[in-house]
Structure 1
Amino acid sequence: MFMKGSNWIPAHVLPEVVTPQYTRHLLQAAADTHQNCLRVWGGGIYETDAFYEIADELGILVWEDLMFACSMYPVNQDFLDTVKGEVVTQVRRMQHHPSILLWASNNENEAALRGNWYGTAFNFDQYKEDYVTLYVDTVRSQVLEEDPSHPFVVSSPSNGLQSELDGYVADHPYNTLYGDVHYYNYLGDAWVGSATPLTRFASEYGFQSWPSFISMAAVSLEEDWDRESPLMYHRQHHPLGQQQLALQIGLHMHLPPHDGSLKAYQDYLYLTQATVAVKVETEIYRRWMSDVTEAGEGYTSGALYWQLNDIWQGASWASIEYGGRWKMLHYYVKNFFNPVLISPHVKNGEIMVYIVNEQFHNITSANVVVALHRYDRLGVMKSVNLSVDVEAAASSQVATISLAEELGLNTHCQEGMYDVEDVCFIILQLYDGEGTLAAPQNFHLLGKPKDAHILHASVQIQDVSGPTVTPHSNWTFTLRVKTDAVALFVWLETEHPGVFSDNGFLMVKKEEQLFFHAAKEMTEEDLQSSLSVKSLTDTYPPGYASKTFAQHPGFHPNDIRNAMLS
């Protein structure tokens, strides 16, 4: 079973938002984006029975962590007695729920001990003995006494059974050949993902972003609307988080000027969300579901990104903001965790096209369409169409396509001194035998958006109609969005609660039809007056236009353009 999903819903969520209605909203958001497993930390007073009842109802499985994480803990008898009492109370309270998938003693403590995170190497044997006393002899034995019907893991990441053979503290808890792995890399090029571990199970990974300006404005003053303001650092609890966010933005896009303007602040918040890092990483894990390298890596059986929801308005790894507003990531989750996924891997001038089909039936006589697009014009330059049969419950490489020979990259993507990778990008689609989309449309940017030969896109909401009653909402509105140029990371926003049918998408046609599923009663005028839309080039300097200037050795055309605009 490939377990998809997001991740830990913190037990310390503020009590005023932990209502059955809010819990249902979060779990429904997980279910609507095809996530069937959540990792929950762990058994606290705010995790009411309503959470598990709703998870039972929606078919969401729960990986239940007990309240031990990222630290060394005491093992005196008084503390162990308290632990036993807590374990008995929580396991008896929750074990009857069919949503409970497994119990886990701790998060990252095996890795912390072996990796000397807290200076334990000077007396490793004693700390290891204490570790086994607490998590194995006490927690594990008590959980299994109360509930022998569910699996139990001592730690995560861990080598699983191999860790047990190693006395419960493996030499290398992050070994990709066993158990599960946590992976964070804030310094590499996450849009490429070449360093992503091909692990048996990816149980934690992710990247930070800030919430929307709508969410931040609720807890800030005008003087705070600057990415370097004291409030921004107060609400950034990850060491070096601001610097890492700036690095990731700068690797692929243009960091807004630090000029104190509201626009620069809003653009910064938007750009922290406009990232494909988690998308790329998740697709790698899913592509390796059915294959293994010569070194034995692969057969990845699960991917749990960190994290589902925010506990306040601040920088975090969450895909859902405090209060329930979806970030751009959560719209991507809806696509990359779809039961059927078309995913590219580009290497050495070739596109290897994978289809992940987690359905229990084959897809026969399907049609794969791989299309070459230019950034500076709407429409398809050239496409390749292939008929494929896709195996059930598997990831299959269905095609290898040459960028140069079959898609004509060097023919259609020449533009002055620009690299062809900065002129063109790829769109992938999968249709079933009846011509209906069988998977969400996917894209692959061959180069970095900041280097792209792209025009400024004027994206506008042409009209809004509704509401109508749909399975998603009693107040569903139809939106018509138009553009005059290719637009990257098109982002629609309204202060009204609800969810768009798609968001953060690439616009490669003049017009797209979208839907807004409102969470409460509202009128067409309410929505129309509150809507805003932006895309990547809206964050560029005024007067921006993509031009090829007189070239200078060692400079990219965009370097010259940016120097002239600065």
Structure 2
Amino acid sequence: MGIYVQRWGDSQNTTVGDIHRYDYFSTCNDVSTFPRPRFASEFGFQSYPSFYSLSTISKPDDWSNDSPFFTSHRQHHPDGNKQMQNMMAKFFHLPNNTDSVQQFKDFIYLSQVVQVICIGSEAEHYHRLLSEAGAYTRGTLYWQLNDIWQAQTWSSVEYAGRWKLLHYAMRRIYSDVSVTAYQLNGSIAVYVTVDDPQMTAKYSLSVDIISWDGKTVSQKSMPNLQSEGFTGTQVAEYKISDIFQGSLTVNDAYLHIWITEDGSNTILSSTHFFPGNFTKINLPSAKIIVSNVTSISSNEVSFSLQSDATAVYVMLDSGALEGYFSDNGFLMTPNTVYSMTFTSWSDISTQDFSKNIVTRSLVDTY
């Protein structure tokens, strides 16, 4: 029989314990503020559910982030609404539409985008530490999965089962193979994490620097890379001063980063990284068109999306229809056709879907 070793004690010990972390004040994608725990069993940030969900339990007079109904009755986290607004202002222009209902809808949308940035950045950080000495982060549980009522909470799934933008993001982040990036000390680091212990990934890395008008400014690539199973590996580091030279600034372009499997050129993972600040970025006006709505089954439809300009943080909203999309919260490049699906919890027709579907992107909040 082996020797018994006491493991209890400080539950926040990053070597043998786990951590709970809620930071509502630091810029939430700043990796220098993140701990390096063995296990992170709670971390999160709030957002609103969809406008449709809120409209079922509120009146038009309530439709404001400052209304007593949403600051006191439905908000059970002290200063929660103010914390969402303050974090939002770190990344985006605050909604200022003269139509008060549209302003509230914009706030709902931005709250979900910020939740993706906050929880997603922290989850990616822990995922990268999977095999790093001194951390060996073996798991994470973000707070929280689902709601018990229609209100602003930490959840990624609404009360009726509708997915927030966060749920789509976490599906990407927790995939077996993922490529992520972060910015620190004047450089952008790129990591590949392989979550499956039985898998060895062989791949090539590609990085395109793309201006907001859709033009590829420069390209970088690294072939013949390999990551073992159950590891997080830094595969590249780029100095920002080397990428953005001359008149090109961090607010003029973004990075498209992806890895392709050797031999098949199958895309294993892809991400977009924004080194600038959207309060200083001149986004193009983007018109998104929904077309080719086709019935697949009694509760599923397929459709096409196309934008005439770069559209960032594209959100698809199914209105009164409860269900989920094949993807959501993504970037669209100009004149590219995206094939999508929507799966409903009940039977739907193509007419019902076409009547309810609403698209928006970040520029729509300006």
Q: TM-score, normalised by structure 2?
A: 0.92
Of residues 158, 163, 174, the one that matches 2:8 is 163
| Displacement after TM superposition at 1:402 (Å) | 3.7
1:344 match: secondary structure: strand
1:438 match: secondary structure: strand
Equivalents in 1 of 2:148, 2:214: separation in Å? 41
| Conserved 8 A contact 1:464-1:477 | no
Per-residue CA distance 1:30-83 (angstroms, 9 max, x = gap): xxxxxxxxxxxxxxxxxxxxxxxxxxxxxxxxxxxxxxxxxxxxxxxxxxxxxx
Per-residue CA distance 1:93-113 (angstroms, 9 max, x = gap): xxxxxxxxxxxxxxxxxxxxx
Q: Which residue of 2 aligns with 1:409?
A: 244
Would you say 1:424 and 2:253 are equivalent positions? Answer: yes
Would you say 1:513 and 2:342 are equivalent positions? Answer: no
Per-residue CA distance 1:131-186 (angstroms, 9 max, x = gap): xxxxxxxxxxxxxxxxxxxxxxxxxxxxx94434xxxxx3xx42322310001100
Of residues 463, 466, 480, the one that matches 2:294 is 466
Equivalents in 2 of 1:161, 1:527: separation in Å? 58
Equivalents in 1 of 2:153, 2:204: separation in Å? 39
- What aligned pairs does 1:185-264 form with structure 2 within 5 A after superposition? 185-233=23-71, 234-257=73-96, 261-264=100-103
Identity score, percent: 31
Counterpart of 1:445 in structure 2: which amino acid? Answer: F
Q: Which residue of 2 aligns with 1:277?
A: 118
Give unmatched runs, 5+ long, in structure 2.
none
Counterpart of 1:382 in structure 2: which amino acid? Answer: S
Per-residue CA distance 1:485-505 (angstroms, 9 max, x = gap): 211110111121221111111
| Displacement after TM superposition at 1:258 (Å) | 8.0
| Displacement after TM superposition at 1:514 (Å) | 1.6
Of residues 264, 271, 285, the one that matches 1:442 is 271
Counterpart of 1:443 in structure 2: which amino acid? Answer: H
2:208 match: secondary structure: strand
| Conserved 8 A contact 1:363-1:390 | yes
Equivalents in 1 of 2:299, 2:159: separation in Å? 23
Equivalents in 2 of 1:466, 1:456: separation in Å? 28
Q: Which residue of 2 aligns with 1:522?
A: 348
Q: Which residue of 2 aligns with 1:101?
A: none
Equivalents in 2 of 1:358, 1:316: separation in Å? 29
Counterpart of 2:52 in structure 1: which amino acid? Answer: I
2:222 match: secondary structure: strand
Counterpart of 1:378 in structure 2: which amino acid? Answer: G
| Conserved 8 A contact 1:378-1:510 | no
- What aligned pairs does 1:464-543 form with structure 2 within 5 A after superposition? 464-469=292-297, 475-494=299-318, 495-511=320-336, 512-540=338-366
| Conserved 8 A contact 2:31-2:182 | no
| Conserved 8 A contact 2:254-2:275 | yes
Q: Which has the higher strand share?
A: 2
Equivalents in 1 of 2:240, 2:340: separation in Å? 31
Would you say 1:337 and 2:208 are equivalent positions? Answer: no
Equivalents in 1 of 2:143, 2:79: separation in Å? 18
- What aligned pairs does 1:284-299 form with structure 2 within 5 A after superposition? 284-292=125-133, 296=134, 298-299=135-136
Would you say 1:381 and 2:217 are equivalent positions? Answer: yes
Q: Which residue of 2 aligns with 1:398?
A: 235
Equivalents in 1 of 2:94, 2:282: separation in Å? 18
| Displacement after TM superposition at 1:352 (Å) | 2.1
Counterpart of 2:128 in structure 1: which amino acid? Answer: R
Q: Which residue of 2 aligns with 1:452?
A: 281
Structure number, greater radius of gyration? 1
Would you say 1:179 and 2:40 are equivalent positions? Answer: no
Q: Which has the higher helix share?
A: 1
Counterpart of 1:288 in structure 2: which amino acid? Answer: L
| Displacement after TM superposition at 1:200 (Å) | 0.7
Equivalents in 2 of 1:283, 1:323: separation in Å? 28
Counterpart of 1:283 in structure 2: which amino acid? Answer: E
Equivalents in 1 of 2:217, 2:349: separation in Å? 41
| Conserved 8 A contact 2:294-2:303 | no
Label 1:355 to 1:161 Cα distance change in 2 as closer, same or farther (>3 A).
Answer: farther
Q: TM-score, normalised by structure 1?
A: 0.60
The alignment covers a number of residue pairs equal to 354
- What aligned pairs does 1:88-99 form with structure 2 within 5 A after superposition? none
- What aligned pairs does 1:37-52 form with structure 2 within 5 A after superposition? none
| Conserved 8 A contact 1:320-1:330 | yes
- What aligned pairs does 1:16-55 form with structure 2 within 5 A after superposition? none
Per-residue CA distance 1:342-389 (angstroms, 9 max, x = gap): 01133334332211112212122x1111111222x1142212111111
Give unmatched runs, 5+ long, in structure 1.
1-159, 165-169, 415-419, 541-566
